[in-house]
Structure 1
Amino acid sequence: MKLYHSVDTRSLRCVWLLEELGVSYDLDVVPFPPRVKAPEFLAVNPLGTLPYLVDGDTKMSESVAILEYLLNRYDGGELRLTPDEADYGSWLNWMHFGEASLANIQATILRYTLFLPKPQRLPVVGEDLSVFLQERLKVLDAGLQGKTYLCGERFTAADISVGYALLLSSLFGYQKYFTPAITVYFDRLQSRAAYQAARAKS
């Protein structure tokens, strides 16, 4: 199994989970953005996006889908909930919330306020979506009340999904929107040995 990765991109979710699972894997670290700095990567993934997982004949490019694949393929145990568990729907929702409601919004903000050439930037897009981001962080704050993790006392891959989005926030100055509960939660996630091992991969 090989995972293509670039430091602090969405592929961190996958590295983090692999470290939590203790699964053997090969890591191919490519410079970011690979479309510009590693054009040979386009022969592997024509989209030029990260992560990219190759596991035998299986090839995947969506980070949360890769989390679900790894959990099911390599026995996620306590890191996943199963359909027969009462909180399964909530767990699955948080898994996708981390990308669809948090990371994707931030990526769009960054594109239109930082990554595009200056003449193409649209600060108004960033301002508008920043309001959306704050609203979604309020939902996260509510979901964390009285809990250690998103599924109560149980750390799961949903925390990995959301945790990456919070890392993205911290890297680009959106940590200012964190509530005290989110700050404590993110600190707790960062203290995990598997998280630290994943961030050390470069």
Structure 2
Amino acid sequence: MKLYHCRDARSLRALWALEELGVDYELVNMAFPPRSTYPGYLTINPLGTVPTLTDGATTLTESTGICHYLAETHGPTPLRVDPSEADYGAYINWLFRSDATLTFPQTIVLRYSRLEPRERRLPQAVEDYSVWYLSRLRSVEAALEDGRSYLCADRFTMADIAVHYALYLGRSLELDARYKPNCLRYLDALTERPAFQRAMARQAEPI
């Protein structure tokens, strides 16, 4: 397997998942945006986005899809919730919610607060989409009530990797000052996992 990755991008979900699984893989660290900084990347992934995971003849480009794929194909692993388990529906819902509901508004915040030239930045859009994202975190805050450490199935799963990344990205956007206590506790606790720390070390390797 080969993972194409940019530091702290959504590909971090896949990198962390690979480290949790302990499978063999090759990491290609790239500068952002890879479509213009990594020669030939558009041939590998015509969208020009990250991540890209290749596994034999299979190519995937969606970060939560990669987490789901890895759990299904490189187990058995407790990171996967089986359809026979009571929390299977919650597990799938969290995987989809992590990107479609949580990470999406952050991309607007990131673009119009940092990536665009100063004359094109939109402070009102940044604030509006920040509030949108933070309001969606109510579901995470509620899921972690009563001291719960994980989102579903009473254990750490791919759903936690997927959702935690949104919280991690929010911290890089300085939105964590408005996080509620459960989200802050969850964010800090999972960053201490050895596999997360290994992923941090791998993405710090020279490009």
Q: TM-score range by the shorter chain?
A: over 0.9
**Do the aligned partners of 1:70 and 1:76 also contact (CA within 8 Å) in 2?**
no
Q: Partner of 1:3 in structure 2?
A: 3
Q: Partner of 1:177 in structure 2?
A: 178
**Do the aligned partners of 2:81 and 2:153 also contact (CA within 8 Å) in 1?**
no
Residue 4 of structure 2: SS of its match in structure 1? Answer: strand
Q: Partner of 2:124 in structure 1?
A: 124
**1:153 to partner: Cα distance:** 3.3
Query: 1:19-50: per-residue Cα shift (whole Å, max 9, x none)?
Result: 11111001111111112322432221121111
Percent identity over the alignment?
45
Amino acid at match of 1:22: G
Q: Partner of 1:64 in structure 2?
A: 64
Query: 1:61-116: per-residue Cα shift (whole Å, max 9, x none)?
Result: 00011111111110152111111111111111111222112112111111122211
Amino acid at match of 2:171: S
TM-score of the two chains, using structure 1 as the length reference? 0.95
Q: Partner of 1:144 in structure 2?
A: 144
Quick one: distance in 2 between partners of 1:36 and 1:148? 40
Quick one: distance in 2 between partners of 1:18 and 1:129? 31
Tell me which moved more, 39-48 or 8-17.
39-48
Residue 82 of structure 2: SS of its match in structure 1? Answer: coil
Q: Partner of 2:91 in structure 1?
A: 91
Q: Partner of 1:190 in structure 2?
A: 191
**Do the aligned partners of 1:137 and 1:177 also contact (CA within 8 Å) in 2?**
no
Q: Partner of 2:169 in structure 1?
A: 168
**Do the aligned partners of 1:149 and 1:159 also contact (CA within 8 Å) in 2?**
yes
Residue 153 of structure 1: SS of its match in structure 2? Answer: coil
Quick one: distance in 2 between partners of 1:12 and 1:110? 16
TM-score of the two chains, using structure 2 as the length reference? 0.93
Residue 135 of structure 1: SS of its match in structure 2? Answer: helix
Q: Partner of 1:35 in structure 2?
A: 35
Quick one: distance in 2 between partners of 1:124 and 1:36? 29
Quick one: distance in 2 between partners of 1:107 and 1:119? 18
Q: Partner of 1:103 in structure 2?
A: 103
- Unaligned runs of 5+ residues in structure 2 are none
Spell out the pairing of 1:41-52 with structure 2 (5 A cutoff).
41-52=41-52
Quick one: distance in 1 between partners of 2:160 and 2:76? 14
Count of residues in Structure 1 that have an aligned counterpart in Structure 2: 202
